[in-house]
Structure 1
Amino acid sequence: MLILHKVQPLIRCYFPRLPSSSSSSAYGHEGIASFFCSAASSDYSASAYLNSILSGLHQIQYPSLPFLRKSHALVITTGNGDNPFVSAKLISLYASLHAPHSSTKLFHSLHRKDTFLWNSVVKSHFSNGNYLEAFRFFTLMRLSGTLPDQFTIPMAVATCAELLWLHQGKLVHGLVARCGLFGGNSAVASSFLYMYAKCGCMDDASSMFDEIPVRDVVSWTALIVGYIQNGESEKGLEILCEMNRVGGDGERPNFRTLEGGFQACGNLGASGEGSCLHCLAVKTGLEHSQ
């Protein structure tokens, strides 16, 4: 374990201009030295504390990426470089700063990779639009023998949707069905619904919709917009009316739903239905949403 007087020079080296005012006292020299010193003892609570501090690093008013890289260097220097919680947070932060290659480099440097870490690197590429890389890491995850969870599958399926990879999406669907994974999970089912709709397979999308135990605005909207974008505007409006009739808290149209509805009205020349949708938008406060 590193003692405080050895850590403090490192803090001042990496963060020479770090503020120590009361408004950011948690990030002052002594404060940062203390929590890095505590984290080096490798007890869980200290690691969790370090993880929570890293969660706020991108909010500090400094050049974000250089600051994060210095923080990463200090994590390594203090012996926390292989901490899975800290590593996952760093991967996420690099992704939020549009540096997925740094996320990848960090991921490859780790000796132990659990599902959480795999999810972090898949998400880092997906959130930056690197869909090929996101799916490549999903494939590597499966080859490593690491089981996906309820967060992995929706990202993999959404990647297939964005790439219009129907075949690969069906393979992922087969994996889920074959292994009996996440039966009845609404988020997983909704991701397949979206993928099938995006790829133009509305019969499969409708079947997925029927299997969703608890439908929310995401699943309703995916089905409605899917029909409209695949040339079945009348069917899309019909389902939108059904959604509005059901009217549960999680089933009220959002801006994307109504946008699809207006598109359908335009396609059909249905001015009456368009007026009704406009009234609904005003009633729900979505008239000026973006």
Structure 2
Amino acid sequence: MLKGYAKNNSSSSLVDAVSFFCQMRNDSVQPVVYNFTYLLKLCGDNSDLRWGKLIHAQLILNGFSSNLFAMTGVVNMYAKCRQIHEAYKMFDRMPVRDVVSWNTIIAAYAQNGLSSVALELLLRMQEEGKRPDSITVVTILPACADIVSLRIGKSIHAYVLRAGFESLVNVSTALVDMYFKCEAVGIARLIFDRMSNRNVVSWNSVIDGYVQSGDVEEAMSVFQMMLDQGVEPTNVTVMGALHACADLGDLERGMFIHKLVDEFKINSDVSVMNSLISMYSKCKKVDTAAAIFERMKVKTLVSWNAMILGLSQNGRVYEALNYFVEMQWQNIKPDSFSLVSVVPALAELSVVRQAKWIHGLVIRNYFDDNVYVMTALVDMYAKCGAVHTARKLFEMMNERHVTTWNAMIDGPRSLHKNYSRMLGCEEMWTSQRGNTKEEAS
């Protein structure tokens, strides 16, 4: 029963599993080690640290604190709850460690953005006489990609060949992904073409790899090849293909993929619908994007951001601002991307009063140290004619990108270009916004 709850993997299953475990204890049934490993897996999968600590305490009380399987489950639970130091503390106390234990702690660091530490642990693992298996390889290759270390990636590839893991589809797929992310596109494609067995994840890695490397036409070619071979796309496949269509501005193929979304019944996936909104917006069909947005039963912050950016990029600045205000009325807190999307719309209006309003919002939401948001503000003030304010913000920035310098250099030119527009824009904004301007401010 506990194993069944663990496989179900939901928050309700966790409550039911714990309740069932308590019932088992009330019936004086002595727990075995696997009872705890199933419960710890559920806690980790649901990132429920409170229940995880309680299960850990019960595990100790029942005398399993030195059990290899139980303590590996504890390490995994803390890692998935993003308590990396606790996970390592438990790992370090283990009197005996096997390859699974090492894989668990390496994955803990690799999956939480601490790739360098994960690679150091891989060396320690070998120094302690443990030979990495295929799971170790699949775990550590994303860490190489994360730090863009082609040299280490190639050394792991050499180990894969010596150990005879190259025929395993998950290992080859991880290698493809690593090479793409390390910008070795040719090697990535060579490995993919030589794979005797491929799963949908393999195809997704290649499509996404080409999109990220800027070769969106090849990404679409691989997507079509995948369909021709009868491989059913997943939501990840579709999002990669829609990204490619958006970058190409290819409305025809974008609409074809939209039909596939309905055909494969993944139109309830909010991430897929967000990708459709972005694709239609970039293909200048922002009304279609808006229709999709309005039909969505569940809207995330990403949905709002995609819609605001789409309207802003298509010159529909008033509508973009209306969506931004409506988003806040619905108690959805903007993030840095929301602000970077809406600030250019205000720059188009060239109204200093509204520029100050969004600047105040940036400060209240603690984004005044975000280089992308501050660059957008510098550009906005410059386009609104407030070049001195733009320069003041520019001087206050601790970090500047080349885009920041470009915005400041272009500032005086923007002042002359936009001066005539500025004169009548304040009145236009007031008439467009009507009664809602007071609430917005």
Scaled to the shorter chain, the TM-score interval is: 0.7 to 0.9
Q: How does 1:255-266 map to 2 (within 5 A)?
A: 255-266=235-246
- 1:26 is aligned to 21
Q: How does 1:1-290 map to 2 (within 5 A)?
A: 24-27=19-22, 30-31=25-26, 34-35=29-30, 46-56=32-42, 64-178=48-162, 180-247=163-230, 251-289=231-269, 290=271
Q: Quick one: structure 1 residues 32 and 67, their matched pair in 2 at CA, closer, same or farther if it must change by over 3 Å?
A: farther
Contact persistence 1:100–1:125 (CA under 8 A): yes
Q: Quick one: structure 1 residues 278 and 50, their matched pair in 2 at CA, closer, same or farther if it must change by over 3 Å?
A: closer
RMSD after superposition:
2.8
Distance (whole Å) between structure 1 residues aligned to residue 75 and residue 199 of structure 2: 30
Distance (whole Å) between structure 1 residues aligned to residue 17 and residue 263 of structure 2: 46
SS of the aligned residue for 1:151 comes to: helix
Q: Deviations over 1:231-273 (max 9, x none)?
A: 21211111111111111xxx22222222222222233332222
Q: Give the length in aligned residue pairs.
A: 255
- 1:14 is aligned to none
Distance (whole Å) between structure 1 residues aligned to residue 18 and residue 221 of structure 2: 54
Percent of aligned positions with the same letter in both sequences?
25
Task: Specify every segment of 5 or more residues in structure 1 that has no aligned partner in the other structure, as ranges.
Answer: 1-20, 37-45
Distance (whole Å) between structure 1 residues aligned to residue 225 and residue 141 of structure 2: 27
Residue identity opposite 1:117 in structure 2: S
Query: Per-residue deviation at 1:87?
Result: 0.7
Query: Per-residue deviation at 1:34?
Result: 4.7
Distance (whole Å) between structure 2 residues aligned to residue 32 and residue 131 of structure 1: 46
Distance (whole Å) between structure 2 residues aligned to residue 146 and residue 171 of structure 1: 18
Query: Per-residue deviation at 1:106?
Result: 0.8
Q: Deviations over 1:46-95 (max 9, x none)?
A: 333443354456699xx953553354345345432221110111111111
Contact persistence 1:153–1:188 (CA under 8 A): yes
Q: Quick one: structure 1 residues 116 and 32, their matched pair in 2 at CA, closer, same or farther if it must change by over 3 Å?
A: farther
Distance (whole Å) between structure 1 residues aligned to residue 246 and residue 50 of structure 2: 49
Query: Per-residue deviation at 1:107?
Result: 0.7
Task: Specify every segment of 5 or more residues in structure 2 that has no aligned partner in the other structure, as ranges.
Answer: 1-15, 272-441
Query: Per-residue deviation at 1:127?
Result: 3.0
Q: Quick one: structure 1 residues 58 and 151, their matched pair in 2 at CA, closer, same or farther if it must change by over 3 Å?
A: closer
Q: Quick one: structure 1 residues 25 and 255, their matched pair in 2 at CA, closer, same or farther if it must change by over 3 Å?
A: closer
Q: Deviations over 1:166-186 (max 9, x none)?
A: 1111111111113x3323100
SS of the aligned residue for 2:167 comes to: coil
Residue identity opposite 1:24 in structure 2: S
Contact persistence 1:72–1:90 (CA under 8 A): yes
Contact persistence 2:98–2:130 (CA under 8 A): yes
Contact persistence 1:189–1:211 (CA under 8 A): no
Residue identity opposite 2:247 in structure 1: N
Which segment drifts farther, 109-118 or 205-214? 205-214
Distance (whole Å) between structure 1 residues aligned to residue 226 and residue 186 of structure 2: 19
Query: Per-residue deviation at 1:283?
Result: 1.6
Distance (whole Å) between structure 1 residues aligned to residue 17 and residue 223 of structure 2: 53
Distance (whole Å) between structure 2 residues aligned to residue 169 and residue 261 of structure 1: 27
Q: Quick one: structure 1 residues 272 and 125, their matched pair in 2 at CA, closer, same or farther if it must change by over 3 Å?
A: same
Which segment drifts farther, 180-189 or 277-286? 277-286
Contact persistence 1:25–1:31 (CA under 8 A): no
